[in-house]
Each structure stands twice: as C-alpha cells, then as structure tokens.
Amino acid sequence: SQTIHQWPATLVQPVGSPLSLECTVEGTSNPNLYWYRQAAGRGLQLLFYSVGIGQISSEVPQNLSASRPQDRQFILSSKKLLLSDSGFYLCAWRGISGNTGELFFGEGSRLTVL
Amino acid sequence: AQSVTQLDSQVPVFEEAPVELRCNYSSSVSVYLFWYVQYPNQGLQLLLKYLSGSTLVKGINGFEAEFNKSQTSFHLRKPSVHISDTAEYFCAAGQGGSEKLVFGKGTKLTVNP
C-alpha cells in the first residue's frame, strides 16, 4: 500500500533562518507531488506541484522554493524565513490515472516563525 | 479557472441532528469533486468523491453528497452526526486536463452534546 511521510512534524524557526521540509512517498511510482499551505481561515493554498523529477510548477510568487531530486521525494525550502511563512504545510501525492484521482495527504508540518 | 466556494465557515449542530455542508463550484466542464475531512493537527482524509455516473455519492463515516450540475453544487450531508464528526471539512474540485485540485476555504463542523 502507498504511504506518505512528512517531517519534521513541528518546527519553530527565527526570522531569517533557512527552512527544509521533506516529503517522501512509498508504494507508488511517478506520482504527482504537491505542497499546500494552510493558514487560519484561508483554506488550502497550493504552493508547488511536480509531475516528475526536476519538474516544478510554482503557483504563487513567494519566499519559498521546491525541489524534486528523486521520483518520490519532494522538498520545500526557504533561504530566509519571514513571519508570514508561518502555517501548516501539507504534502500530497496523486496518481496519474487521467487526472481523476484524489490527493493523498501527509500528516502535515507546523511551522512557526518567530 | 475552477473555483470552489464553501458558503459556511462554521456550522454548529447538536449530536444526532442532521447536517448539510454546502459547496459550490464554478465550472461543470469535466469536473471531478471531492470532500475531505481534517481533524486537528492532522492531514486531510478523503470522505468521498464524484467522478461520473450516479449523482448521489456515499462515503465513509455515513456521509453522502449529491452532485447537482444545474446548481453547480456538491453539498455534503449526514442524517445523524456524532461528537466524533467535529472537524473541518473541505470541498475540492478538479478538471480533466489539469494537474491541480482547487479547495474551498473549509467549514468547521462542531457537534455539541
């Protein structure tokens, strides 16, 4: 069966520090991978998605970047965090079955920038 | 571009009462619809999905939703809720040819004893 892992689960970082959130998927090949951010009262905002190794689509201009160094690994990064980067970050994967498949989410990473 | 509107940000109900959480989407062209549930500090879990066929879709935990093309709605219902249904619920829509799902802003369901 397929599983998705995200880490760390919680993170408290000072403004200006770097960030690296990691996500790995097991039990499937060539998934679409997604990073969402959830801020209070704003629902889920799609940040990045990837349809293959090295292929990254950015949805909103921001202080973050994403990379996909391996088929089932997706990394969210920042060189210098801002207060506004605080939030709950969710990684998700989706099979490539005609774009009708649902997203499967990880457990999330809560980032607090102080 | 597809958009999803969840009309109620918060819905309080009493235990064993029926509930309906409303969702409207913008485009019916090749649309696929989903409802997810999120418990505090957890990821999202799929409740049900509509891809095609019967407009009444049954999901887990006794939830169901009805696809209404003319009203561009996909409301979630449960005839009798439990305390354990307290959570945030998200409606999402995808379209054929798109890699993305668009989510609504969520509805917080609180079930009171």
CATH number at residue A69: 2.60.40.10
Q: What's the pLDDT tens digit per position in A25-47?
A: 999 888 999 999 998 777 899 99
Q: What is the pLDDT of residue B73?
A: 95
Q: What's the pLDDT tens digit per position in B50-106?
A: 988 889 999 999 999 999 999 999 999 999 999 999 999 999 998 877 788 899 999
Q: Which helix (H) or strand (E) holds A53?
A: none
* Cα A111–chain centre separation: 12
Q: Which residue in chain A has the smallest CA separation from B32?
A: A100
Q: Which of residues 43-82 of B touch A (CB under 8 A)?
A: 43-46, 49, 51
Whether A105 and B92 lie within 8 Å, measured CB to CB: no
Kindly tell me the burial class for residue B96, based on how many C-beta atoms sit within 10 Å of its own C-beta (0-12, 13-18, 19 or more): exposed
Q: What is the pLDDT of residue A36?
A: 95
CB atoms within 10 A of CB A11: 18
Interface test with B, best of A46, A100, A111 (most B CBs within 10 A): A100
Q: How far apart are CA B81 and CA A49, in angstroms?
A: 35
Q: What is the pLDDT of residue A42?
A: 74
CB atoms within 10 A of CB A71: 15
Residue A112 reports pLDDT greater than 90: yes
Q: How far apart are CA B21 and CA B9, in angstroms?
A: 10
Q: What is the pLDDT of residue A97?
A: 59
Residue A24 reports pLDDT greater than 90: yes
Q: What residue numbers bound the domain in which A40 lies? A: 3-113
Whether B96 and A103 lie within 8 Å, measured CB to CB: no
Choose among B9, B43, B94: nearest Cβ to A108. Answer: B43
B40 touches chain A (CB under 8 A): no
Domains recognised in chain B with CATH numbers: 4-112 (2.60.40.10)
- In total, how many domains does chain A have? 1
HSE at residue B59, side-chain half, CA atoms within 13 A, is 22
Minimum distance, in Å, between the CA of residue B60 and any CA atom of chain A: 15
CB atoms within 10 A of CB A61: 6
Q: Of B88, B108, B83, B84, which is closest to residue B14 (Cα–Cα)?
A: B83
Give residue A100's pLDDT band: very low, low, confident or very high (50, 70, 90).
low
* Residue A76 in tokens: 């969210």
Q: What's the pLDDT tens digit per position in A57-89?
A: 998 868 899 999 999 999 999 999 999 999 999
